[in-house]
């Protein structure tokens, strides 16, 4: 049975973005692909194999569940778990989690002394690989700079902990003014200098997100972590001059109803839209449950084979209405584009983010589970026997 909602993931575009980011990097720099939040809403089971084949060296996820899922879709390379995954539950729960970490060969983030103290009390059957996170100015997770030396010493004192990486994260690398980003890089460099004598050889240092990968070569160190850019979205519009990125996601549905309304007729909940003329109304089976947010009510735009159409009335949980009056006739089942590949279109991820007053990450990450993710090749077969 075909889904009413389909997200097409173009792996050729994804690989193009990976190679464009690789070209930005200094020679020998590894690329860690952040694949958290179901690969930013793009479907980890599609994205991970493509990036692994393209040569991604590492992956990063938010929690253990995501890490285990990544292994189940065939990811063979190292996985860094960014969250503090051992700060929950009783001893039994924590030991269960350690078992999963060892079974799947995961790299764990350490950001505080309490976690090292607890880990020193367990006796796992094999060593646990860890990366130390430093708060260089982001003000989120991470050891404070003046506590880093002691934390490194305590990690090195635990025989079954293997310190293989040290990292930090930028707060404003996507800004045109890089004052804070430059300061953060200086702070991180100072920390690395202080802890250097206590680090084992071969430690991977990493800090650069998408923006810093594109515009801050001094921040590349041994590895970069470009997330948003891998999927084709610019961290800042000004970076279009620095790199050619191609959005890798398109979302389509179909017309589930077409009807004519007289002037003065309500459309949707709350009577927020009243027809001022005879109106040809289309209904599309997508709503805020699917991540097409209610904020786009009377504000969104969709594409059709004969032109764009505005979203009118309140967006419901499962449906939205569009005004087809000014377009040539469309049949029941005609394809409707909710999100377009082309960043210049009114229904691109970037344009939707601007309409919503948010960032592209939120637009793609909120796409719901009722939207079936498929590759471009499968979509071409999918639509061969009729409208989506």
pLDDT of res. 88: 80
Tokens for 351, please give them: 């344009």
Q: Is 17 a member of any domain?
A: yes
- The answer to whether residues 206 and 301 belong to one domain is no
Predicted TM-score (pTM) of this structure: 0.94
Residue that finishes a domain, picked among 181, 214, 241: 241
Active site residues: 36, 269
Taking only the tens place, the pLDDT of each residue in 7-64 is 999 999 999 999 999 999 989 999 999 999 999 999 999 999 999 999 999 999 999 9
- The answer to whether residues 130 and 224 belong to one domain is yes
- The answer to whether residues 155 and 271 belong to one domain is no
Q: Is 6 a member of any domain?
A: no
pLDDT of res. 388: 39
For a pLDDT cut of 90, what percent of the chain falls above it? 91
Which residues make beta-bridge pairs with 274? Answer: 266
Cα–Cα distance measured from residue 96 to residue 68, given in angstroms and rounded to the nearest whole number: 13
Which helix or strand (DSSP H or E) is residue 151 part of?
A: helix 148-156
The domain of 35 spans 11-241
Which residues make beta-bridge pairs with 325? Answer: none
- The answer to whether residues 359 and 375 belong to one domain is yes
- The answer to whether residues 167 and 285 belong to one domain is no
- The answer to whether residues 161 and 234 belong to one domain is yes
Alpha-carbon dihedral 54, 55, 57, 60, rounded to 10 degrees: 0
- The answer to whether residues 205 and 315 belong to one domain is no
Q: Which of 1, 2, 8 is nearest to 388 (CA)?
A: 2
Taking only the tens place, the pLDDT of each residue in 154-211 is 999 999 999 999 999 999 999 988 999 999 999 999 999 999 999 999 999 999 999 9
Q: Is the pLDDT of residue 384 over 80?
A: no
- The answer to whether residues 217 and 281 belong to one domain is no
Cα–Cα distance measured from residue 208 to residue 81, given in angstroms and rounded to the nearest whole number: 17
Number of domains in the chain: 2
Taking only the tens place, the pLDDT of each residue in 233-287 is 999 999 999 999 999 999 999 999 999 999 999 999 999 999 999 999 999 999 9
Cα–Cα distance measured from residue 349 to residue 354, given in angstroms and rounded to the nearest whole number: 9
- The answer to whether residues 264 and 342 belong to one domain is yes
- The answer to whether residues 183 and 77 belong to one domain is yes
- The answer to whether residues 109 and 217 belong to one domain is yes
- The answer to whether residues 235 and 254 belong to one domain is no
Q: Is 233 left (phi over 0), alpha (psi -120 to 50) or beta?
A: beta
pLDDT band at 385 (very low <50, low <70, confident <90, very high): very low
């Amino acid at each position: 049975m075909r889904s009413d909602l389909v997200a097409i993931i173009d792996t050729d575009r994804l690989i193009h973005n990976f190679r464009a980011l690789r070209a930005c990097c200094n020679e020998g720099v590894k690329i860690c692909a952040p694949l958290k939040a179901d690969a930013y809403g793009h479907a980890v089971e599609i994205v991970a194999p493509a990036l692994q084949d393209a040569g991604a060296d590492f992956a990063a996820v938010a929690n253990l569940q995501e890490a285990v899922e990544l292994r189940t879709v065939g990811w063979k390379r190292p996985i860094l778990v960014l969250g503090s995954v051992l700060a929950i539950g009783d001893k039994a729960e924590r030991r269960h989690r350690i078992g999963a970490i060892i079974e799947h060969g995961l790299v764990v983030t350490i950001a505080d002394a309490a976690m090292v103290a607890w880990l020193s009390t367990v006796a796992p059957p094999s060593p646990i690989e860890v990366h130390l996170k430093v708060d260089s100015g982001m003000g989120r997770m991470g050891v404070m700079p003046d506590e880093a030396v002691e934390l490194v010493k305590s990690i090195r004192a635990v025989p079954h902990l293997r310190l293989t990486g040290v990292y930090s994260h930028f707060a404003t690398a996507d800004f045109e003014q890089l004052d804070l980003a430059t300061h953060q890089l200086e702070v991180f460099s100072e920390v690395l200098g202080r802890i250097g004598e206590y680090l084992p050889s071969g430690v991977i240092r990493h800090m650069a997100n998408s923006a810093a990968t594109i515009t801050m070569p001094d921040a590349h160190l041994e590895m970069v972590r470009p997330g948003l850019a891998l999927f084709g979205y610019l961290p800042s519009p000004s970076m279009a001059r620095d790199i050619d990125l191609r959005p890798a996601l398109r979302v389509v549905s179909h017309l589930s109803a077409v009807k004519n309304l007289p002037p003065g007729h309500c459309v949707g909940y709350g009577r927020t839209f009243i027809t001022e003329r005879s109106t040809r109304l289309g209904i599309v089976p997508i709503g805020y449950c699917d991540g097409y947010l209610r904020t786009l009510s009377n504000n969104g735009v969709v594409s059709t084979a004969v032109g764009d159409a505005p979203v009118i009335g309140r967006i419901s949980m499962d449906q939205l209405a569009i005004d087809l009056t000014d377009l040539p006739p469309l049949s029941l089942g005609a394809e409707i584009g909710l999100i377009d590949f082309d960043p210049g279109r009114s229904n691109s991820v970037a344009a939707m983010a601007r309409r919503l007053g948010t960032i592209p990450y939120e637009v793609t990450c909120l796409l719901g589970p009722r939207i079936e993710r498929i590759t471009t090749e499968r979509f071409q077969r999918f639509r061969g026997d009729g409208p989506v």
